[in-house]
Amino acid sequence: MVTKIVLTEDEMPRQWYNIQADLPSPLDPPLGPDGKPIGPEMLAPVFPMNLIEQEVSSRRWIDIPEPILEKLAIWRPSPLYRAHAFEKLLGCPVKIYYKNEGVSPAGSHKPNTAVPQAYYNKVFGIKRLTTETGAGQWGSALSMAGAMFGLEIKVYMVRISFDQKPFRKLMMQVWGANCIASPSAETSFGRSVLEKTPDTPGSLGIAISEAIEDAVQREDTRYSLGSVLNHVMLHQSIIGLEAKKQMEKAGDYPDVIIGCAGGGSNFAGIAFPFVLDKINGKEIDIVPVEPAACPTMTRGPYAYDHGDTAGMTPLLPMHTLGHEFVPAPIHAGGLRYHGMAPLVSKLVQEKLLRPVSLHQNECYKAALDWARTEGFISAPETSHALAAVVVEAQKAKEEGKEKTILFNWSGHGLMDLTGYDNFLSGRLEDVDFTDDQLKEGLKAIKGLPKPTGA
Amino acid sequence: MVTKIVLTEDEMPRQWYNIQADLPSPLDPPLGPDGKPIGPEMLAPVFPMNLIEQEVSSRRWIDIPEPILEKLAIWRPSPLYRAHAFEKLLGCPVKIYYKNEGVSPAGSHKPNTAVPQAYYNKVFGIKRLTTETGAGQWGSALSMAGAMFGLEIKVYMVRISFDQKPFRKLMMQVWGANCIASPSAETSFGRSVLEKTPDTPGSLGIAISEAIEDAVQREDTRYSLGSVLNHVMLHQSIIGLEAKKQMEKAGDYPDVIIGCAGGGSNFAGIAFPFVLDKINGKEIDIVPVEPAACPTMTRGPYAYDHGDTAGMTPLLPMHTLGHEFVPAPIHAGGLRYHGMAPLVSKLVQEKLLRPVSLHQNECYKAALDWARTEGFISAPETSHALAAVVVEAQKAKEEGKEKTILFNWSGHGLMDLTGYDNFLSGRLEDVDFTDDQLKEGLKAIKGLPKPTGA
């Protein structure tokens, strides 16, 4: 009985897969404040040119530089598992495989892009990176990568998380990063918010605005984003490329692929290399899972919208609930985002993906069953993928079909145990998204241009 | 440049190594209250007979049952790493290899024995296990193993840790265990302590007494210990057995082997299979590392002593500071134990090991350098091994010798970041062990029998 399929370092992929090469039709371009497509040079104050090139590239395969491979090798290739004990508990006719991205030093898939981003900034001559973080997974990952490549890292952490999760801040400090609460007095935007609302808990939107303002003001500084953008999806493709090799070693191929999706990067990571097979005719059910409280893909339209709340970023074509929408405070902080990666959104539009939404209580229920069978304690975000696995397994039973399910176990929940406490004590609430919320949210995108096919 | 040497599941050892078969002279037996050797049957109310058999066995190789292998396969074989970036930082003529035991669901080496202990109790017909935990690593590991084999787990957690580390308790609850603060009102010993000292912070000694009292009163219940005992060392030998195979794949062999040692189990795990080579003539420097605040091997005599503070356990032959000694509250809670495993103590006596002691500031310094080069954040206990690696590397440089160092990275520190906070802010104090402490501590063993060679 094989539990774990490992790859040696020699078997680690040497190229990332860029799905932009294989889209049925190309992605609509980002638009500037004037509604016109923006060129790469307009992003230059924010990102280094080598990453901008990846952002707009349509080359199918992009080489992974050796110094990046060396750092990735600390936790990659990540193991692929067969979840025997969980299968037994479910008693459904399914084989369940999962990719364990919790083995990275930061505990999630985030370092897969933090390391390349730090490297490309470093070789471009950048000395310092700014970023925002909500729950803290991304801020931790970039802090680690910054330490590895000798870059100064400044993290603007949403104040409420900063106060509630002192250990996340400590992790970043261990890696030498400077993590401060946002809104802060260190940017003019932060000061303006503090002046109006001194007691604000902060928001991801505010933190992004501060991080960008900080970055564009210093020649030696750039900004770094942990999801949504094309180059982030590219870097995460290593997950699915490894999984393909490992499934082959297992002598199996997935009927269903599942990943949770907030900005879309861990889902894209496991799914995109298989989406290529689907485009080429394979029959696979590919399922991104979002929270019912923030149902970007299942309720939000495909539209042009800003990536941040303040509307400082270019307009991107994506499924969105409106950039001013503030999702309910569910525990899966990484899934509380109003938009969805343009590449994931495009594939939803093309009907290559079948998004679903779930409530947090059923996610924690699945995560508890998982911990007590497979051992690992899942991040609140990851629990959404788990609950979708349960749904698919039960569906297979009802249909009387044998199925092979592959999902991305995107990270461990050791830094986020409070949600389990609330679940175990029955204090966890399910939140539904309302028609009124949708109506209110979409006001923010009224009058903006529409992408092709919207 | 190879960073990580992995083994497939097929290459996982199928037998544990029992060093009792190869000791230069046999271990002195445990003694009862009357000072006479006790037989296995006297331990039967506390441990199941199949584990007692392992405890006293002198068979060199003991088969690992298939159901245990299946669970161990969730994180084993654990990867062996070469610490390239840390080597570069040190600039010494050393190759540094480390075994990563932080990949287990509980984050340390503890599940290596928690899983077999749960299994053997289960097949012996036991329904419920009690144990104590200090910092929480062991309580977490046994909780996980209990969930996997359907055993009820009751953890008596030292009150001060219970109050200071709510997340550790939560981890155990996620795995379905019942974790309560010790002293508790649920045992007569706990009640007697609470009556005398209602505000006591508790101690490991009190918690052990409560766990044993609970276990011996119920036919369906046994007690489980996470270190010190021979069968625990046996279960941990899988670490070193894997490391041997991996070093062979790397085409290398260690000149120096290092592990931190509190009760001795993670050290024994990496070291014992190599001690066999040393007994057979190989030249290896094998170094257990203890805290300067609790220098059991470097300052304590080899003597008969109790394993717990209350003196409820049999007398064991070991290096000890006296069973009433209360070590200073250093952050490495897992190294705050007055005694040392009889097998490790015996090997120190035989001069097959060279114990050293270190202060916590130099340990955190090494752990910080490690996090910023290798990525992983070390447990406070593990940081002691790291600091010893630094010492050995610098010694190699001074001696102008090239050396290969292998050490056990026993666990991650994500649940124990407070120590890093204190270190980073300069609040961390080094504590020296004094002659007066030794004199005072040894009073507790005055008049007790002496083991052979003491």
Same domain, A53 and A82: no
- Nearest residue to A117 via CA among A175, A69, A50: A50
The two three-digit tokens of residue A332, written as one number: 């899966």
HEC-encoded secondary structure of B146-192: HHHHCCEEEEEEEHHHHHHCHHHHHHHHHCCCEEEEECCCCCHHHHH
HEC-encoded secondary structure of B366-427: HHHHHHHHHCCCECHHHHHHHHHHHHHHHHHHHHCCCEEEEEEECEECCCCCHHHHHHHCCC
CA–CA distance, B448 with B454 (Å, rounded to integer): 12
CA dihedral (A104, A108, A113, A114) positive or negative: negative
Please give the radius of gyration of chain A, using alpha carbons only, rounded to the nearest integer. Answer: 20
Binned at pLDDT 50, 70 and 90, residue B329 comes out as confident
Please give the radius of gyration of chain B, using alpha carbons only, rounded to the nearest integer. Answer: 20
Segment holding B68, helix H or strand E: helix B66-72
Q: Is A420 close to B173, i.e. CB distance below 8 A?
A: yes
- pLDDT at residue A135, rounded to an integer: 84
CA–CA distance, A357 with A342 (Å, rounded to integer): 19
- pLDDT at residue A117, rounded to an integer: 98
Closest residue of chain B to A72, computed from CA coordinates: B3
- Nearest residue to B6 via CA among A54, A355, A7: A7
CA–CA distance, B114 with B371 (Å, rounded to integer): 28
Q: Is A174 close to B417, i.e. CB distance below 8 A?
A: yes
Determine the distance in angstroms separating the CA of B174 from the nearest CA of chain A, rounded to an integer: 6
The two three-digit tokens of residue B146, written as one number: 């209990």
Nearby residues of B325 by Cβ (< 8 Å), 6 or more positions away: B338, B437, B440, B441, B444
Q: Is B238 inside any structural domain?
A: yes
pLDDT higher than 80, residue B157 = yes
- pLDDT at residue A310, rounded to an integer: 79
Q: Which of B223, B249, B275 is the last residue of a domain?
A: B223
Determine the distance in angstroms separating the CA of B57 from the nearest CA of chain A, rounded to an integer: 30
Binned at pLDDT 50, 70 and 90, residue A449 comes out as very high
CA–CA distance, B89 with B393 (Å, rounded to integer): 11
Report the residue of A68, A86, A87, A417 to disrupt the B interface, i.e. the one with the largest count of B CBs within 10 Å: A417
Portion 138-197 of B in contact with A at CB < 8 A: 144, 147-148, 167, 170-171, 173-176
Same domain, B325 and B420: yes
Is the N-terminal amide bond of A329 cis, ω within 30° of 0?
no
pLDDT digits (tens, 9 = 90+) for A66-124: 999 999 999 999 999 999 999 999 999 999 999 999 999 999 999 999 999 999 999 99
Do B404 and B274 contact (CB within 8 A), yes or no? Answer: no
Phi and psi at A88, nearest 5°, equal -60, -40
pLDDT higher than 90, residue A331 = no
Same domain, B264 and B215: no
Looking up residue B334, the CATH number of its domain turns out to be: 3.40.50.1100
- pLDDT at residue A93, rounded to an integer: 98
- Range with lowest mean pLDDT among A92-96, B197-201, B307-311: B307-311
Question: Is any Cβ of chain B less than 8 angstroms from the Cβ of A101?
Answer: no
- Nearest residue to A369 via CA among A294, A411, A414, A423: A423
Portion 26-45 of B in contact with A at CB < 8 A: none
User: How many Cβ atoms are within 10 Å of B24's Cβ, its own excluded?
Assistant: 11
Do B403 and B93 contact (CB within 8 A), yes or no? Answer: yes
Binned at pLDDT 50, 70 and 90, residue A204 comes out as confident
Q: Is B28 inside any structural domain?
A: no
Determine the distance in angstroms separating the CA of B120 from the nearest CA of chain A, rounded to an integer: 18
The two three-digit tokens of residue B251, written as one number: 């085409």
Question: Is any Cβ of chain A less than 8 angstroms from the Cβ of B372?
Answer: yes
Closest residue of chain B to A370, computed from CA coordinates: B175
Region A35-59: mean pLDDT is: 94
Same domain, B315 and B440: yes
Determine the distance in angstroms separating the CA of B75 from the nearest CA of chain A, rounded to an integer: 8
Q: Which of B188, B223, B258 is the last residue of a domain?
A: B223
Q: Is A148 close to B372, i.e. CB distance below 8 A?
A: yes
- pLDDT at residue A396, rounded to an integer: 98
Q: Is B196 exposed, middle or buried (0-12, 13-18, 19+ CB in 10 A)?
A: exposed
Determine the distance in angstroms separating the CA of B159 from the nearest CA of chain A, rounded to an integer: 19
- Nearest residue to B72 via CA among B117, B34, B126, B22: B117
CA–CA distance, B286 with B254 (Å, rounded to integer): 10
Can you give the residue range of the structural domain that contains A394? 69-107+230-445
Question: Is any Cβ of chain B less than 8 angstroms from the Cβ of A439?
Answer: no
pLDDT digits (tens, 9 = 90+) for B14-66: 999 999 999 999 999 999 988 999 988 999 999 999 999 999 999 999 999 99
Portion 47-86 of B in contact with A at CB < 8 A: 70-71, 73-75, 81, 84-85
Q: Is A208 inside any structural domain?
A: yes
B170 closest CB neighbour out of A103, A107, A420: A420
Closest residue of chain B to A6, computed from CA coordinates: B8
Name the one residue in this structure whose structure tokens are 């770094």.
A224
Please count the residues of chain B. Answer: 454
Q: Is B74 close to A375, i.e. CB distance below 8 A?
A: yes
Q: What is the DSSP string of A231-260?
A: HHHHHHHHHHHHHHHHHHHTT---SEEEEE
Same domain, A270 and A154: no
Amino acid in the structure at residue B392: E
Same domain, A248 and A290: yes
Strand locations in B226-353 (E): 256-260, 285-291, 302-306, 315-319
Report the residue of A3, A96, A142 to disrupt the B interface, i.e. the one with the largest count of B CBs within 10 Å: A3
Question: Is any Cβ of chain B less than 8 angstroms from the Cβ of A89?
Answer: no
Region B133-139: mean pLDDT is: 92
Q: Is B171 close to A107, i.e. CB distance below 8 A?
A: no
CA–CA distance, A233 with A325 (Å, rounded to integer): 24
The pTM of the whole model exceeds 0.95: yes
- pLDDT at residue B331, rounded to an integer: 86
Question: Is any Cβ of chain B less than 8 angstroms from the Cβ of A1?
Answer: yes
Q: Is A74 close to B173, i.e. CB distance below 8 A?
A: no
Is the N-terminal amide bond of B301 cis, ω within 30° of 0?
no
- Nearest residue to A354 via CA among A386, A388, A382: A388
SS3 state at B81: strand
A8 closest CB neighbour out of B6, B107, B414: B6
- pLDDT at residue A2, rounded to an integer: 86
Portion 108-147 of B in contact with A at CB < 8 A: 111, 144, 147
SS3 state at A185: coil
Q: Is B105 close to A415, i.e. CB distance below 8 A?
A: no
Number of domains present in the structure of chain B:
2
Mean pLDDT of chain A: 95
Complete edge-to-edge strand list for the sheet that includes strand A80-82: A4-5, A80-82, A94-100, A403-409, A256-260, A285-291, A356-358
Residues of chain A found within 8 Å of residue B375, distances taken between Cβ atoms = 71, 74-75, 104-106, 111, 144, 147-148
A176 closest CB neighbour out of B144, B372, B415: B372
Amino acid in the structure at residue B252: D
A417 closest CB neighbour out of B105, B170, B418: B170
- pLDDT at residue A447, rounded to an integer: 93
Same domain, A161 and A260: no
SS3 state at A363: helix
Same domain, A53 and A73: no
CA–CA distance, A7 with A77 (Å, rounded to integer): 6
As a whole-number percent, the residues of chain A with pLDDT over 90 amount to 88
Same domain, A388 and A439: yes
Do B171 and B195 contact (CB within 8 A), yes or no? Answer: no
- pLDDT at residue A33, rounded to an integer: 85
B171 closest CB neighbour out of A147, A368, A377: A377
pLDDT higher than 90, residue A454 = no
Question: Is any Cβ of chain B less than 8 angstroms from the Cβ of A438?
Answer: no
Residues of chain B found within 8 Å of residue A118, distances taken between Cβ atoms = none
Q: Are strands A403-409 and A94-100 parallel, antiparallel or unpaired?
A: parallel
Q: A448 vs A453, which has greater pLDDT?
A: A448
Q: Is A174 close to B81, i.e. CB distance below 8 A?
A: no
Residues of chain B found within 8 Å of residue A3, distances taken between Cβ atoms = 9, 70, 73-74
Q: Is B411 inside any structural domain?
A: yes
Binned at pLDDT 50, 70 and 90, residue A255 comes out as very high
Q: Are strands B256-260 and B285-291 parallel, antiparallel or unpaired?
A: parallel
pLDDT higher than 80, residue B1 = no
CA–CA distance, B49 with A403 (Å, rounded to integer): 43
Q: Is B8 inside any structural domain?
A: no
The two three-digit tokens of residue B70, written as one number: 């299946």
- Nearest residue to A316 via CA among A21, A31, A35, A47: A31
This model of the complex carries an ipTM of 0.96
CA–CA distance, A323 with A305 (Å, rounded to integer): 7
Closest residue of chain B to A367, computed from CA coordinates: B174
CA–CA distance, B170 with A304 (Å, rounded to integer): 43
Q: How many helices (H) and strands (E) does chain B have?
A: 17, 15
Q: Is B151 inside any structural domain?
A: yes
Same domain, B188 and B215: yes
Same domain, A190 and A97: no
Binned at pLDDT 50, 70 and 90, residue B7 comes out as very high
Determine the distance in angstroms separating the CA of B99 from the nearest CA of chain A, rounded to an integer: 12
Q: Which of A176, A200, A223 is the last residue of a domain?
A: A223
Q: Is A8 inside any structural domain?
A: no
Closest residue of chain B to A145, computed from CA coordinates: B375
- DSSP tag of B429: P
Region B54-82: mean pLDDT is: 97
Closest residue of chain A to B147, computed from CA coordinates: A372
pLDDT digits (tens, 9 = 90+) for B364-396: 999 999 999 999 999 999 999 999 999 999 999
Q: Is A24 inside any structural domain?
A: no
Closest residue of chain B to A412, computed from CA coordinates: B105
**Residue A450: half-sphere exposure toward Cβ, Cα within 13 Å:** 8
Amino acid in the structure at residue B61: W
Same domain, A292 and A409: yes
- DSSP tag of B431: -
pLDDT higher than 80, residue A406 = yes
Binned at pLDDT 50, 70 and 90, residue B161 comes out as confident
- Range with lowest mean pLDDT among A21-25, A207-211, B136-140: A207-211
Determine the distance in angstroms separating the CA of A274 from the nearest CA of chain B, rounded to an integer: 25
Determine the distance in angstroms separating the CA of A348 from the nearest CA of chain B, rounded to an integer: 34
Name the one residue in this structure whose structure tokens are 């730090």.
A118
Region A321-342: mean pLDDT is: 90
CA–CA distance, B304 with B307 (Å, rounded to integer): 10
pLDDT higher than 90, residue A308 = no
Determine the distance in angstroms separating the CA of A6 from the nearest CA of chain B, rounded to an integer: 6
